[in-house]
A and B are shown apart, each in its own frame.
Chain A
Amino acid sequence: MRIESVEPSDAVLVEAAQGGHLDSFGALYQRYHNPIVALAYAGLGDKHAAEDAAQEAFAIACRDLDSLRNREKFGAWLGGICRNVTRQMLRQQSRPAPPPDNSPDDGTQRQEQSDAVRRAVWKLPEPERELIVMRYFDGFSQARISEVLDITPAAVNGRLVRAKRKIAQFLKRDGFGS
C-alpha cells in the first residue's frame, strides 16, 4: 500500500532544506519554478528575461533560506524575492513600463489577436496582471497561485473575474471581438 507521489508540504521541505538537504530544495525548485517564471514574466514582459529572474530568485532563496521563519509561506516569500529581482532588472534597463513580448510578425489574424490580448493584459494593474499571467501561463492550480501571490483562493477567484472583465473591455475598445 503506497502512494509514492504524495508530496510533502512546503514546510517539511523547507525545514529539511534549512538543515542542508539539497534534494528538498530541489523539490521546492521543481514545485515553484514555473510559477516564479510566470510571476517574473508578468513584471518583465519577456520570457527569456523572466527565466533569468527566476534563476536569480532561487539562488537568493537558497542562500537566504535560514531567514524564512514561517516555512509554510515559502511560496509567498519566494514570490517576494522574485518581485525584487524583477524590479532591479527593470531599473537596470531603465524601463519603467515593460511592453509584452510579441509573436513573430507573420501578419495573421490569430497573431494580431494574441498581441492585442497581451497588450490588454499589460494594461492591467500589477496585481491583476500577475494573477492573469500566472493563471494562463501554465495552468497552475488556484492553490499554487494563492500561495505565490499570498492571497486567499477566494480572492484569486474574485480578482480573476474582475481582471478578465477589464481585458474584455480593453479588447473591445481596440476593436477586437463583438
Chain B
Amino acid sequence: MNVEALLLSLRLALCVSAILFVLGMPLAYWLAYSRRRWKFLVEALVALPLVLPPTVLGFYMLLAMGPHGPLGKFWYAAFGHGLAFTFAGLVIASVLYSFPFAVQPLVASFETVDRKLLDASAILGANRMRTFRCVILPLSVPGIITALVLSFAHTLGEFGVVLMVGGNLPGVTRTVSIDIYDHVQSLDYAGASHTALFLLLISFAVLSAVYGINRRASRRAWPTWSVK
C-alpha cells in the first residue's frame, strides 16, 4: 500500500473541505435567500461540475493554470512558479470540482429553515448576521455536516481532474486513485487491491459515522411541531 499517496489524498481532501466550507457558506446563503432574477444562472454554474466529465473541467483548468493561462500567469507573478502539476493547483481544481457537493446541501438546509423564524428574529431586533449565526446555522447542522463530508469524500475519490491538472508526481500530486490506476496499468493487481480495499473501508467508515451523527442531529434540530 502506498502510504505517501494516501496521506496526500487525505491532506488534499481536508484542504478542499476547509476551503469549500469557507467559500460555500456565503454563496449558499446568497443562493438560498437572494431574490435576484439571474440567480438561476449562478445555480447552474455551481451545478456544472455535476454533469461535466472531470476531464473537461480538468482540461479547462489546465489551460487556465498553464504558463499562458490567466490563473497560471497570476500565480507565477505572485509566487514565482507555475500552478499546473503542483499541490496548490490540485487544491484549486478540486475546490471547483467539488463545489456543488458543498453548496447544494447547504442551500437545501438553509431553505428548510422556517421563514417565520427568520421574521421572528428580525422582529426581535437581530440583524442578518445574528440571525444567520443564532438561528440559521444551528438549525442547519445536518446540512453542514453533509456538505463537509460530501466535499471530503468526493475529493478523496476524484480521479479525472487530478490526472489532468496534477499528473502523477509522487508526494505532490500522486493521490490514491492515481496510485491505484498506476498499479493496474502495470498489471500489479495485488498492489492495487490493497490500496483500493483500504480506500473502500475508510470511505464507508467515514460516511456511516457521519450519517449516524446526522440522524441524531436532525432529530434534535427538527421537532415535528415546527415543521409546517
Indicate whether A and B interact.
no
Binding site for A on B (CB under 8 A): none
